[in-house]
Amino acid sequence: MSLHLRYCLLRQKIDRNQWELQPESAVRHRKWMTLSWEETASGHPDYFARLSASVAHARGRVLELGCGMGNMTRWIAARDEVSEVVAVDGFEQALAELRQRSLPKVDARCMGMHELHFDAGERFDTVVACELLEHLYPDEEAALLAAIRPHLAQGAGYVVSVPIGWLEDPHHVRAFSRAKLSRHLARHFGPEEGRDESSGYSQVAWGRFTQHGV
């Protein structure tokens, strides 16, 4: 029985700590952290397409969920339109590497996506959740959204990316077709305002949060 099927039948959640379970993933991410913007574009064009489409819509005080080692974090923080990045991940192994780089404007915090907590006065202008939702069970995403919604600034935007359809990965628990992602965002975030699929494997969507999610 596959791990995904086991959850569907027995409600048993799988371990999604890719940093321990997939060492090759950590090696790949460490390499990306050493590359310049130009080197990333020339050496990893598909990844760069997703990266650039995601980063382009970040502004103000940004909450990045599932930041990992900070491959996207550093480029978000480099934008003049961004004042600060609160970079959150559930695995200290990844965050330790991000902190070692002492990136300007970056505040790295270790929190599970289902147990987010922020100071009462904190507000975010953009929420970035790239290649994250496919790792979360529905109840975990519901807890995430409930935790961040009180901290959204007026007119806050979102950037969400997920693989196009099912991607064989031992740490993925959900899949989103193009149509399903549009419906999902409209219901839980806000109607999408734009989309980029130039990477060929991922769909990057952006929009603004509605006042009340479902």
C-alpha 189/C-alpha 187 separation (Å) is 6
Which whole-number Å values give the CA distances from 137 to 62, 111, 119, 141, in the listed order? 24, 16, 25, 6
List the end-to-end C-alpha distance of the chain, in Å, as a whole number: 33
For the domain with range 18-208, which CATH number is right: 3.30.1510.10, 3.40.50.300, 3.40.50.150, 3.10.450.40? 3.40.50.150
Q: Which helix (H) or strand (E) holds 42?
A: helix 37-43
Q: pTM here?
A: 0.88
Helix-helix angle 92-100:23-33, to 10 degrees: 20
* Closest C-alpha among 49, 19, 59, 28 to residue 153: 59
Task: Tell me the pLDDT of the chain (214 aa) as tens digits.
Answer: 444 454 554 467 776 666 665 667 777 778 888 899 999 999 999 999 999 999 999 999 999 999 999 999 999 999 999 999 999 999 898 899 899 998 999 999 999 888 999 999 999 999 999 999 998 999 999 999 999 999 999 999 999 999 998 877 777 889 999 999 999 999 999 999 999 999 999 999 999 999 765 4
Task: Indicate left, alpha or beta for 66 from its phi (over 0: left) and psi (-120 to 50: alpha).
Answer: left
Q: What tokens does 80 get? A: 């003049």
